[in-house]
């Protein structure tokens, strides 16, 4: 195997100096070709301007930059701000969608929002109460607003939409509330729903038809979305789409992950629980499924499957190959053929006690029997813990270095499962969890991974989970933030920390870089601790209750001593 040949399909006509979607491009690379900020000068970065959102819940969004305007989406109540880049972020306008207040009660892991997308003169994003809105980018006027889910059933939306071929792709959250997962395509012009694909249930609902050709035998058969569940359990089985969506215009395929099955107690749902905890390839025009691969059949640990699918073209075993790079919550980095769904490689990048390997002949994980949950028993030293080795926080890929840059956590957990009862709109979990630090005592890591050599190149250990996203540039600089508030620039080749700045609150946002009206390169990130990992601060939870935030509080009880609630956009540049 040799080094990476080239970056995957960009799929975006956006100027390189702008940022039109949360993931930068349809390939989800989060790579910028801007190179004014380099390894040599990054240490001279300084604040250019700031903007306060006035909110104190988790700020996970990536700002957008279109022309001379930056757009920022806040956590609930999901205000959209337009900021004038020619006037150091002066407010142009704000749009307030006024989501239903009760939607906050069905947000399992803070009232976050992961960003917006720009398309055809509109800023398009989702609100917590399961609406998708389109706003005129110049005036802030609402163009359309579509209800896509029902908070009374426990559905909410936290994901950033993706626009491909004039379709707005959105998916629901609520896997801990017994909802049924789906992805929908809306017409970008009108907001009307073009198609809906469910991730559990009969083939007609999942949009599985003649074109469906999964690579592995265990994914072939009629109505597996029903037959791999106890009777009727698929109706409340999860499989939500709250993570990232990619698009390859050459293959004309969308790629989206599916979330955990519900409830967490696996004894209540014997079977593979299709089509949860996996990845679908679908046609954007119709939603028709092309293939599916399941990262975690019969998911035992809330490992989900919604992490980003990064599309790159590699020379693999001497031949050019279109692949997906996917750092999964189960602790393995996968290389998949994105035309077929075949697993080419799956290697551990974190501490794992739950499985011994991924069997490439079947695509299935080989489980450790002693770590399987058992009703009424506490199973200890389960690793990765329920957030996985890496949760939603997105990685980045550089075609210059051929490396994947991974922000992730180092956590394990003790878990006891029990019977869960379903009541619409209420938690449907069936597990009590306490998380704690993994080997070494640190809880976070930022590392570079070589997908060709299939090994870690370098690693930075952090006190807390690295819950922010990352971006990497043509200046060979990678950026990420920490939960205790440090924003860092790193040498993408060596891992040397080049610069760091202490922000007012912990960072769980997604950094971006752009070219300002003055033709200088800027870097921007939202500071505002929260999300699942930071709930102990953002939600002001009692740190003595180790089961709080589905067990995450036990691992983060000291976070309130290191950071405070906040909501601030920071923008940096060279002097």
Catalytic residues: 176, 260, 302
**Edge-first strand listing for the sheet containing 167-171:** 162-164, 167-171, 182-187, 193-198
| Helix, strand or coil, per DSSP, at residue 574 | coil
318 vs 573: CA distance, rounded Å:
41
DSSP label at 78?
A: T
Our CA angle for 217, 219, 223, nearest 5°, is 125
Task: Give me the DSSP letters along 191-257.
Answer: --EEEEEESSS-HHHHT--TT---SSGGG-STTHHHHTSSTTGGGG-B----S-EEEETTTTEEEEE
**Residue 372 CB neighbour total at 10 angstroms:** 16
Cβ-proximal residues to 558 (8 Å cutoff; 6+ apart), any chain: 543
| Helix, strand or coil, per DSSP, at residue 151 | helix
Q: Are 418 and 432 in contact (CB under 8 A)?
A: yes
392 vs 390: CA distance, rounded Å:
7
Q: Are 125 and 73 in contact (CB under 8 A)?
A: yes
The C-alpha torsion from 246 through 249 and 253 to 255, rounded to 10°, is -10
Q: Are strands 319-327 and 310-316 parallel, antiparallel or unpaired?
A: antiparallel
Residue among 472, 557, 451, 562 at smallest CA distance from 523: 472
> Tokens 């996203």, residue?
469
Q: Are 206 and 217 in contact (CB under 8 A)?
A: no
Hey, what long-range contacts does 487-493 have (CB within 8 A, 24 or more apart)?
A: 487/511, 487/525, 487/527, 487/570, 487/572, 489/37, 489/42, 489/43, 489/45, 489/523, 490/446, 490/460, 491/39, 492/39, 492/398, 492/400, 492/401, 492/403, 492/405, 492/448, 493/39, 493/401
Residue 535's H or E segment, with its range, is: helix 535-538
């Amino acid at each position: 195997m040799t080094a990476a040949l080239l970056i995957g399909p960009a799929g975006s006509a956006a100027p390189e100096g702008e940022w039109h979607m949360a993931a930068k491009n349809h390939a989800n690379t989060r790579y910028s070709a801007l190179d004014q900020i380099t390894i040599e000068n990054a240490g001279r970065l300084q604040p250019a301007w700031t903007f306060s959102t006035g909110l104190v819940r988790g700020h996970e969004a990536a700002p957008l930059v279109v022309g001379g305007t930056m757009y920022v989406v806040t956590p609930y109540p999901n205000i959209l701000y337009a900021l004038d880049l020619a006037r150091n972020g002066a407010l142009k306008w704000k749009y307030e969608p006024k989501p239903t207040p009760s939607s906050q009660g069905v947000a399992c892991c803070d009232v976050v929002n992961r960003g917006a997308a720009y398309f055809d003169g509109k800023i398009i994003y989702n609100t917590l109460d399961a609406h998708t809105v389109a706003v005129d980018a110049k005036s802030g006027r609402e163009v359309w607003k579509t209800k896509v889910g029902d908070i009374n059933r426990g559905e909410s939306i936290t994901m950033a939409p993706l626009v491909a071929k004039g379709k707005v792709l959105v998916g629901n959250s609520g896997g801990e509330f017994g909802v049924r997962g789906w992805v929908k395509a809306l017409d970008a012009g009108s907001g009307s729903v073009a198609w809906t694909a469910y991730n559990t249930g009969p083939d007609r609902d999942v949009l599985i038809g003649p074109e469906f050709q999964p690579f592995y035998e265990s994914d072939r058969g009629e109505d597996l979305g029903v037959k791999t569940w106890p009777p009727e359990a698929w109706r409340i089985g999860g499989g939500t789409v709250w993570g990232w969506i990619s698009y390859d215009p050459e293959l004309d395929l969308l790629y989206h992950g599916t979330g955990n099955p519900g409830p967490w107690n696996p004894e209540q749902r014997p079977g593979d629980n299709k089509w949860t905890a996996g990845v679908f390839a679908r046609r954007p025009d119709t939603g028709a499924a092309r293939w599916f691969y399941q990262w975690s059949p019969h998911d035992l640990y809330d490992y989900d499957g919604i992490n980003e699918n990064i599309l790159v073209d590699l020379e693999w075993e001497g031949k050019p190959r279109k692949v997906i790079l996917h750092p999964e919550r189960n602790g393995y980095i996968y290389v998949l053929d994105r035309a077929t769904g075949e697993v080419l490689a799956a290697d551990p990048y974190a501490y794992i006690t739950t499985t011994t390997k991924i069997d490439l002949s079947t695509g299935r994980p080989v489980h450790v029997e002693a770590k399987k949950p058992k009703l009424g028993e506490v199973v200890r030293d389960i690793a990765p813990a329920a957030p996985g080795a890496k949760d939603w926080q997105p990685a980045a890929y550089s075609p210059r270095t051929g490396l994947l840059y991974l922000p992730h956590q180092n956590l394990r957990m003790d878990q006891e499962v029990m019977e869960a009862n379903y009541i619409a709109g209420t938690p449907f979990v069936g597990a009590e969890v306490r998380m704690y630090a993994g080997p070494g005592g640190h809880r976070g890591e930022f590392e570079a991974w070589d997908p060709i050599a299939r090994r870690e190149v370098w690693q930075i250990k952090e006190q807390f989970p690295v819950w922010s996203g990352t971006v990497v540039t043509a200046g060979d600089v990678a950026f990420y933030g920490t939960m205790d508030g440090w924003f860092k620039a790193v040498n993408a080749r060596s891992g040397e920390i080049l610069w760091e700045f202490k922000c007012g609150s912990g960072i769980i946002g997604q950094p971006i870089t752009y070219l300002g009206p003055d033709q200088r390169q800027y870097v921007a990130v939202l500071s505002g601790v929260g999300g699942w990992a930071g709930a102990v601060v953002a939600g002001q939870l009692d740190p003595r209750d180790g089961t709080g935030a589905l067990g995450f509080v036990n691992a983060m009880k000291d976070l309130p001593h290191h950071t405070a609630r906040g909501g601030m956009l920071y923008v940096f540049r060279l002097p």
